[in-house]
Structure 1
Amino acid sequence: MELNEIFHSLKQNSMSIEEYTSGFNNLSLGVGLKESNEQLTSCYLAGLNQSITDEMGVTCLFNLKMLDNWP
């Protein structure tokens, strides 16, 4: 599987949010994506466990930097 495929299929599964975020960031740098911040954020959120996205409810993150302030 190519890095690009691995990046777009990345799921949190049993990783902590910190581990998932680190892996996501490392892969996005390794792949050399030219996607917008909104596309990256959408891809990031799609890989999070459903329980986390459910807890976030209607909270809207506009970029990955906002996760630094997430409880």
Structure 2
Amino acid sequence: MATIIDLLPLWLLSLPLCTLAAFALRLDIFWVYLCMMSEHVVKLLWSLHRFRSGLWINNLTGAAGPESSAL
């Protein structure tokens, strides 16, 4: 999931937005850079949502079933 959170905003938001801003709209470098940084805002919001949901937690010390007992 971390790879998806990292790559999707890049390919679906940042690169198309920067291409549009730079070549189609002919915006100044400041605005192109701002479009590039918008990716990080999306990643932050998505990561915070995942963190607060607790889906990233894997309990490795919990009670094990009878098939994994040491004795």
TM range (shorter): 0.3 to 0.5
Bigger helix share: 2
TM-score by length of 2: 0.36
Instruction: Give the number of the structure whose alpha-carbon radius of gyration is greater.
Output: 2
Report the TM-score, using the length of structure 1 for normalisation. 0.36
